[in-house]
Homo-oligomer: A and B are copies of this chain.
Amino acid sequence: MRIGELSRRTGVPVPTIKYYLREGLLPGGELTSPNQAQYGEPHVHRLKLVRAMVEVGKLSVAATRDVLQAIDEPGNSLHQVLGIAQAAVTPAVTAADPDAWESAEKLVEELVERHGWEVKPGNPARQALAQLVVTLRDLGQDDLLDVFDDYAAAAERLSTAELALIGRREGLDSKVEGAVLGTVLGDALIGAMRRLAQANASHRAFEGARG
């Protein structure tokens, strides 16, 4: 199909497709003349995947390219691809007071040990968690740290359920894509679920409390 048809099939505007081609998010089509290319079903699927990561998962174009390159590299294990996808969705952390930071890292380390998690020391989610600890303490919200173990237990149940489901898939490429989408879209999923559950719990507990 030509690029116009690719646009109709996916709902992605032609200029956006050309941008993704230039940025290396989408492999080029087969050239049928110097300025005309043909695209196939793999392009349709890849374009939908790019859109899911950029528009729904809110990944940057650079982060999306990192993840797609990790998927395409046949030597990568599923565990390695997941690590790259995780790094892509974990925001960078800003510096804090060294003493506060050291104490927060200790709390994270204890939590990881308490849950028996085997996680590399350099995993960026450790820093993300330490930053949350520093922030909550700095705001005098130390009591909120009491929910960290509830969050850890919930995260563990979700990861186990998700990876079990992906493990039942046929074919490694399909497993890899499922694991990456679970990582990239899972944040939006649990975020939306939390808001619905919270709206319900707040409705029952607090409506009118300050009105």
- CB within 8 Å of B: which residues of A? 11, 45, 48-49, 51-52, 55-56, 58, 74-83, 86, 89-91, 94, 96-97, 112, 115-120, 123-126, 128-129, 131-132, 135-136, 138-141, 143-144, 146-148, 150-152, 154-163, 165, 167-169, 172, 175-179, 181-183, 185-211
17 A-B pairs whose Cβ atoms sit less than 8 Å apart in the complex: A52-B138, A77-B206, A77-B209, A81-B210, A116-B200, A123-B196, A128-B195, A143-B165, A144-B162, A146-B165, A151-B158, A154-B154, A155-B197, A163-B202, A172-B210, A182-B198, A190-B190
Report the bound CA distance from A89 to B200 in whole Å. 17
A209: contacting residue among B78, B112, B138, CB under 8 A: B78
By the criterion CB–CB under 8 Å, are A181 and B139 in contact?
Answer: yes
Q: CB-CB < 8 A to A197: which residues of B?
A: 115, 117, 152, 155-156, 158-160
A189: contacting residue among B45, B139, B148, B195, CB under 8 A: B148
Residue of A51, A144, A151 contacting most chain B CB atoms (<10 Å): A151
Q: Which 3 A-B pairs have the closest CB atoms?
A: A155-B193, A125-B195, A117-B200
By the criterion CB–CB under 8 Å, are B191 and A187 in contact?
Answer: yes
Do A181 and B117 contact each other (CB < 8 Å), given the known contacts A148-B189, A208-B77? no
By the criterion CB–CB under 8 Å, are A79 and B125 in contact?
Answer: no
Do A123 and B199 contact each other (CB < 8 Å), given the known contacts A136-B181, A185-B132, A194-B159? yes
Report the bound CA distance from A48 to B188 in whole Å. 26
Q: CB-CB < 8 A to A116: which residues of B?
A: 200
Q: CB-CB < 8 A to A162: which residues of B?
A: 144, 147, 198
Residue of A76, A159, A177, A207 contacting most chain B CB atoms (<10 Å): A159
Q: CB-CB < 8 A to A120: which residues of B?
A: 199
Q: Looking across the interface, which residue of chain B has its beta carbon closest to that of A74?
A: B210
Do A77 and B141 contact each other (CB < 8 Å), given the known contacts A52-B135, A194-B190? no
The distance from the CB of A34 to the nearest CB of chain B, in whole angstroms, is 33
